[in-house]
């Protein structure tokens, strides 16, 4: 019952702190010409690289449609793109792109801007995460009318899951007739409670800065995994954009709805965009650039009054949300496991491969298939080699 949210046209530009290094126009051919003029064929080489990665990644949907699952992130990646995909979690996107002929200038201007707006990090993020981010930046993404949160609420309704509104505080291991039994402890509005389960999926990040519950009676013990998360601040500002800061003294002439930034030390924000409602009527139009509009600003730190004054001539309201958005990819070099114990699984480790809604959905289905196959001892469906050949044979 989900509907595709209508896209509202709007041009983008990349800002260096002093001027725009690249500006999008209303004409597709002119945009291509500007890319070629500034960066040669780097854009085409980038597109070919991303398309090759995504074409191999899409194999996962065929595998999952046939019930195949993987017991580790390395096995999952290896089944899609061999050792090259595993290596892409250990080397930077900049290194990979330079290797295929993308110029350093294109990396510094365009790739850096995209990664700052998505992950809030530099071109040193791993190549696989970078490829996913760059694929999402090329458009043709799917947004849900009414907000993407409806995906979660719709799934809960569809599965008729029994949701306990409480915070999990710990998991302890017990045994029943030789099989593992997991006691999940939680705290809710009615106090403390617990329940026993044959299978448990942990979806919160198990890292020192995020983990807030304990594992008991496990041998060997289940410890936090190395790594940290990237802090990010989202400021939603209703106000009048200060177009003079971006080189447009007359606000009526400011043409952009989205502004990305290069990796410049003096820049205090990563990106900003003129946002639209989650429900878009047929008559909806963006505000004129001289009118008050709602802007979303991504920054590594909360914006102070002077920084707000730099970006906006005046404003009516500012709503600020600080959160731990994505893994800080320079903080860990190994991928977390999927299987923590016999029937205890870990979902959020996939974020260290790449962090997105699609990756989490893929990982969730993999765990569901893995748990099912392990429970029914269907080992032929787990960690199989040469899966493309097997799938073609089954077809």
Q: Does residue 177 surpass a pLDDT of 90? A: no
Rounded CA-CA distance 42/305 in Å is: 39
Position 211 scores a pLDDT of 67
In the sheet where 191-197 sits, what is the strand order? 191-197, 179-188, 166-176, 214-216
Position 395 scores a pLDDT of 60
In a domain, residue 395? The reply is no
- Domains in the chain: how many in total? 1
Q: Does residue 91 surpass a pLDDT of 90? A: yes
Residues in the chain: 395
Position 210 scores a pLDDT of 66
In a domain, residue 260? The reply is yes
Q: Does residue 172 surpass a pLDDT of 90? A: yes
In a domain, residue 307? The reply is yes
In a domain, residue 286? The reply is yes
Question: What 8-state DSSP symbol labels residue 190?
Answer: T
Position 332 scores a pLDDT of 64
Tens digit of pLDDT for each residue in 225-255? Answer: 888 888 899 999 999 999 999 999 999 999 9
Q: Does residue 309 surpass a pLDDT of 70? A: yes
Average pLDDT rounded to a whole number, residues 276-283: 89
Tens digit of pLDDT for each residue in 321-378? Answer: 998 889 998 766 789 999 999 999 999 999 999 999 899 999 999 999 999 999 999 9
Confidence bin at 142 (pLDDT 50/70/90): confident
Position 119 scores a pLDDT of 93
Tens digit of pLDDT for each residue in 22-70? Answer: 999 999 899 899 999 999 999 999 999 999 999 999 999 999 999 999 9
Q: Which stretches does DSSP call E strand in 47-176?
A: 166-176
Position 86 scores a pLDDT of 95
In a domain, residue 356? The reply is no
In the sheet where 293-299 sits, what is the strand order? 20-23, 11-15, 256-261, 271-274, 293-299, 229-241, 312-327
Q: Does residue 394 surpass a pLDDT of 80? A: no
Average pLDDT of the chain is 92
Tens digit of pLDDT for each residue in 180-234? Answer: 999 999 999 989 999 999 999 999 888 876 667 889 999 999 988 888 888 899 9
In a domain, residue 257? The reply is yes
Verify cis geometry, omega within 30 degrees of 0, for the bond prior to 118. no
User: Which SS3 state, helix, strand or coil, does residue 270 take?
Assistant: coil
In a domain, residue 80? The reply is no
Give me the domain span that covers residue 249.
229-327
User: Which SS3 state, helix, strand or coil, does residue 164 take?
Assistant: coil
In a domain, residue 336? The reply is no
Position 140 scores a pLDDT of 66
């Amino acid at each position: 019952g989900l509907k595709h949210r209508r896209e509202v046209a709007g041009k983008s530009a990349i800002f260096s702190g002093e001027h725009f290094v690249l500006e999008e126009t209303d004409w597709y051919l002119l945009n291509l010409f500007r890319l070629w003029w500034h960066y040669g064929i780097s854009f085409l080489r980038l597109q070919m690289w991303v398309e090759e990665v995504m074409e191999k990644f899409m194999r996962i949907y065929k595998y999952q449609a046939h019930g195949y699952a993987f017991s580790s992130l390395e096995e999952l990646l290896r089944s899609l793109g061999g050792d090259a995909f595993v290596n892409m979690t250990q080397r930077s996107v900049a290194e990979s792109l330079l290797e295929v002929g993308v110029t350093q200038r294109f990396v510094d201007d365009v790739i850096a801007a995209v990664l700052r707006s998505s992950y809030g990090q530099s071109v040193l993020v791993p190549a696989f995460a970078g490829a996913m981010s760059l694929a999402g930046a090329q458009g043709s993404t799917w947004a849900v009318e009414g907000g993407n949160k409806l995906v979660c609420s719709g799934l809960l309704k569809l599965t008729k899951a029994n949701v306990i509104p409480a915070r999990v505080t710990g998991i302890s291991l017990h045994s029943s007739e030789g099989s593992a039994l997991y006691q999940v402890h939680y705290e809710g509005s009615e106090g403390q409670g617990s329940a026993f389960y044959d299978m448990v999926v942990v979806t919160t990040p198990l890292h020192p800065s995020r983990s807030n519950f304990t594992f008991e009676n496990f041998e060997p013990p289940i410890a936090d995994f190395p790594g940290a998360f990237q802090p990010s601040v989202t400021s939603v500002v209703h106000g009048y954009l200060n177009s003079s800061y971006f080189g447009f003294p007359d606000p009526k002439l400011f043409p952009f709805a989205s502004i990305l930034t290069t990796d410049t030390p003096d820049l205090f924000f990563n990106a900003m965009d003129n946002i639209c409602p989650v429900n878009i009527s047929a008559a909806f139009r963006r505000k004129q650039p001289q009118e008050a509009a709602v802007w979303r600003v991504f920054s590594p730190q909360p914006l102070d009054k002077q920084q707000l004054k730099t970006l906006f001539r005046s404003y009516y309201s500012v709503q600020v949300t600080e959160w731990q958005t994505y893994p800080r990819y320079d903080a860990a070099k190994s991928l977390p496991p999927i299987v923590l114990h016999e029937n205890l699984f870990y979902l959020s480790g996939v974020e260290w491969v790449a962090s997105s809604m699609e990756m989490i959905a893929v990982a969730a289905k993999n765990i569901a298939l893995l748990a099912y196959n392990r429970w029914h001892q269907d080992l032929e469906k787990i960690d199989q080699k040469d899966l493309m050949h097997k799938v073609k044979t089954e077809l």
